[in-house]
Structure 1
Amino acid sequence: MSESRNGRWRRTGAMLAAAGLLALSGSALATNQSQQRQQGRNANQSAKHEARTGKVDCRAANEKSNSQCRHEKRDTKQEGRQQKRDIKY
């Protein structure tokens, strides 16, 4: 009878240890994903800011048409989106 109790305690302990390891690995994964999302957001936001200032500078210089300035802004924002994708994957 004492052997069966020891066996139960061992199994229970092993199951708790396995559950603990699973929980720790899941939280580590979530932390890593969170950091990647934050880095992606930062890259995207900085690209948007760069695009805005670039368009303002382009229009102030008056060397290009408004459509050319818009195209440059669009390209800059697209580069930021690609950086975000590269960070996340």
Structure 2
Amino acid sequence: MVESGNGLWRRTCAMLAAAGLLALSGAVLATNQSQQRQEGRNANQNAKQDARSNKVDCRAANQKSNAQCRQDKRDTKQGGRQEKRDIKY
């Protein structure tokens, strides 16, 4: 069976259009993922900075032992990690 030039042209255009749409959807997905990663990094970095500040304040005020201040810092950082997980998923 011989195809006409017009039918072959249509099929080629349709395949190219489908490939273009697939590529475009992949780019949009990558952009969303990169935004989520950046938000997650920001949340994590903010938590680290807060933890450092809290530990310094805790030790300066001499409210707790050094071990308790360290545990507070760990808890703050863990909260930041959880926030990062919540953002990404």
Taking structure 1 as the reference length, the TM-score comes to: 0.96
Deviation track 1:29-55 (CA, whole Å, cap 9, x = no partner) reads 000000000000000000000000000
* Paired amino acid for 1:86: D
> Which residue number in structure 1 is paired with residue 12 of structure 2?
12
Taking structure 2 as the reference length, the TM-score comes to: 0.96
* Paired amino acid for 2:65: S
Root-mean-square deviation (CA, aligned residues, Å) is 1.2
Q: Report 1:48-63 matches (<5 A).
A: 48-63=48-63
Q: Report 1:40-79 matches (<5 A).
A: 40-79=40-79
Aligned length: 88
Gaps of 5+ in 2: none
* Paired amino acid for 2:47: A
- Structure 2 distance, partners of 1:74, 1:50, is 11
Deviation at 1:63, TM superposition (A): 1.0
Gaps of 5+ in 1: none
